[in-house]
Amino acid sequence: MEKLQYLFFRYFLHVTSIDKVSADKMMIKAKGPVWHQKQKRQNIVPKGLRGLDRDATWGKSQAKGWIYGHGTFMLTPFHTPVVGIFQWMPNSGNEAKRMEQEIITYEGIIKKIFMDSKADDAPMYFRLKQEHHIQLVTAPRKGMDKSPVRKKMIKSMLTKRNRKDYVKRSTTVEPMQGLMDDMFELERCWMRGDSNNRWVFAAMGIAVQIAQLHAYRHKQSTWNIRSLVLGV
């Protein structure tokens, strides 16, 4: 199913000529009880702990703190917000590494990728720019502007245009994750296990892509698609 998402995204970027996208990760609580980090590391399941998702992992969200569960990774194009990809990733996984892994497959199509400060990494910045001709725009971490390499990166990255575009990500990818969260009630995962959640997240993404493509073709909002997806 994830391959269908990729096909849709390439098609949509082609017909719209959009070359700027934004990336984000969302953390979702596991179905069932929490497996505390120390006990999970030691593979100790407390007596009476039933319905445990053993595949879930721990991750820290700036907004919600520590979460035991699964992650989703999303790419969303600028200008006409749709779900580019909405896919499972380990909750403990590094979203910047996932972003780089995904975005280089769009070399020659995507020119700019926007992501929060988790992507503030100079070696990755220059790899994307020099090897793949993709401009990364992120928020530099405070106090991390002293070395010559960092100064060069920040000067090259934070142009007036890029700063203006970076602000727009708050109206594209972040609300799109919220749309998925609200529509499918993702306060908690629907299923247990990596493979099950990978399948269900992919299915959710495809359902929304179909609805958003219909809305786009009929010149309607790509946000107001709840009835198309859920039939309500």
What b/e string do you get for 32-69 counting C-beta neighbours within 10 Å, with b at 16 or more?
A: bebbeeeebeeeeeeeeeeebbeebbbbeeeeeeebbb
pLDDT in tens, 158-180: 999 999 999 888 777 778 999 99
Q: What is the mean pLDDT of residues 195-211?
A: 97
Q: What pLDDT is stored for residue 169 in this prediction?
A: 82
Q: What is the mean pLDDT of residues 114-140?
A: 95
What b/e string do you get for 109-142 counting C-beta neighbours within 10 Å, with b at 16 or more?
A: bbebbbbbebbbbbebbeebeeebebbbbbbeee
Q: What pLDDT is stored for residue 168 in this prediction?
A: 83
DSSP per position, 59-123: EEETTTEEEEEEEEEEEEESSS---SEEEEEETTS-HHHHHHHHHGGGTTT--EEE--GGG--HH
pLDDT in tens, 189-199: 999 999 999 99
Residue 25 has pLDDT above 90, yes or no: yes
Q: In whole numbers, what is the pLDDT of the chain averaged over residues? A: 94
pLDDT band at 230; cut points 50, 70, 90: very high
User: Considering only CA atoms, which of 97, 148, 147 is closest in space to residue 124?
Assistant: 97
pTM: 0.93
Q: What is the mean pLDDT of residues 148-159?
A: 92
